[in-house]
């Protein structure tokens, strides 16, 4: 029975990852019967899509130019202003400013699609996923939906960078059922640096040699020192190849 459960979890994990991968495709309707684009920003960029497959799914893409994105990655934090309504619980909560701005570009669109899909499918569970930068946007979107609308949200991120300080991440851990996947020595989950007060939410699932380890959770630091945090050499290739499938393959 335990083996069946593990296999079921692995199938579910790779199915959710497929949505994160499809988010890189320009024509998602080639893969999905029902698909709603998430467009935003000053250049009307495509950030991903929402769909229904028995669950309500939101999927967010990462950067198409990974090397430039890593080279230009800034380590600046800002408060939650413009992202969420003011509240005492957000006092001292800080988020990566560039990633927050990326989500703000599409926040109204994601909320509109959430209302549309909940109205059409009121009994459906809500799952949000994304790879790389899309993983960080997934976290912001999941917390927005869970906190603002008091919804149960499952979030699956793949190769997501660190997103905020301990005050904000503690709130994410409280409100969102988060599963954070790291492929072997993927470099991106180690950015921005932990000593700059950026941390990850729970729970890390470390993929190494086709084995997934469910890592332990700690209050501080949040990362299990026996999982990907045990590494000192990192790989860009591991960032682009989850479960043996290239993230940007359409």
Q: Residue for token digits 């497959």?
A: 53
- Which CATH fold topology does 2-111+166-246 show? Rossmann fold (3.40.50)
* 45-52 and 153-158 beta bridge pairing: unpaired
Q: Coil, helix or strand for 128?
A: strand
- The CA-atom distances, in angstroms, between 200 and each of 71, 86, 114, 138, 181 are 21, 23, 25, 13, 11
- The CA-atom distances, in angstroms, between 118 and each of 50, 125, 180 are 12, 9, 25
| Separation CA 97–CA 78 (nearest Å) | 5
Where along the chain do its domains lie? Answer: 2-111+166-246
* 179 contacts 61 by C-beta, under 8 angstroms: no
pLDDT (tens place) for every residue of the chain, 250 residues total: 333 333 334 445 678 999 999 999 888 888 898 999 999 988 888 899 999 999 999 999 987 666 556 655 677 888 988 898 878 889 899 999 989 999 999 999 999 999 999 999 999 999 999 999 999 999 999 999 999 999 999 999 999 999 999 999 999 999 999 999 999 999 999 999 888 889 999 899 999 987 899 999 877 667 899 999 999 999 999 999 898 877 766 6
Identify the pLDDT of residue 2. Answer: 34
> Residue 48's closest CA among 68, 17, 23?
23
* 164 contacts 94 by C-beta, under 8 angstroms: yes
Identify the pLDDT of residue 8. Answer: 34
Q: Coil, helix or strand for 36?
A: strand
Q: Read off the DSSP letter of residue 146.
A: H
* 245 contacts 158 by C-beta, under 8 angstroms: no
Identify the pLDDT of residue 13. Answer: 60
């Amino acid at each position: 029975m335990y083996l069946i459960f593990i296999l079921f979890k692995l199938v579910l994990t790779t199915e959710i990852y497929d949505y994160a991968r499809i988010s890189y495709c320009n024509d998602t309707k080639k893969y999905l019967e029902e698909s709603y684009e998430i467009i935003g920003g000053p250049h009307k960029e495509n950030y991903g899509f929402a769909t229904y497959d028995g669950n309500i799914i939101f999927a967010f893409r990462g950067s198409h130019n990974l090397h430039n994105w890593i080279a230009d990655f800034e380590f600046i934090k800002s408060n939650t202003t413009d992202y969420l309504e003011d509240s005492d619980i957000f006092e001292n909560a800080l988020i990566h400013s560039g990633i927050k701005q990326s989500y703000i570009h599409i926040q109204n669109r994601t909320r509109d699609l959430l209302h549309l899909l909940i109205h059409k499918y009121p009994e459906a569970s809500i799952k949000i996923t994304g790879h790389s930068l899309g993983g960080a946007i997934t976290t912001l979107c999941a917390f927005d939906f869970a906190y603002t609308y008091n919804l149960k949200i499952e979030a699956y991120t793949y190769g997501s960078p660190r997103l905020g300080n301990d005050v904000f991440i503690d709130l994410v851990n409280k409100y969102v059922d988060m599963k954070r996947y790291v492929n072997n020595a993927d470099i991106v989950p180690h950015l921005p640096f932990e000593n700059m007060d950026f941390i990850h939410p729970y729970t890390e699932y470390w993929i190494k040699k086709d084995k997934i380890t469910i890592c332990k959770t700690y209050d501080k630091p949040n990362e299990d020192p026996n999982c990907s945090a045990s590494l000192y050499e990192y790989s860009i290739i591991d960032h682009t190849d989850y479960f043996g499938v290239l993230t940007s393959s359409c």
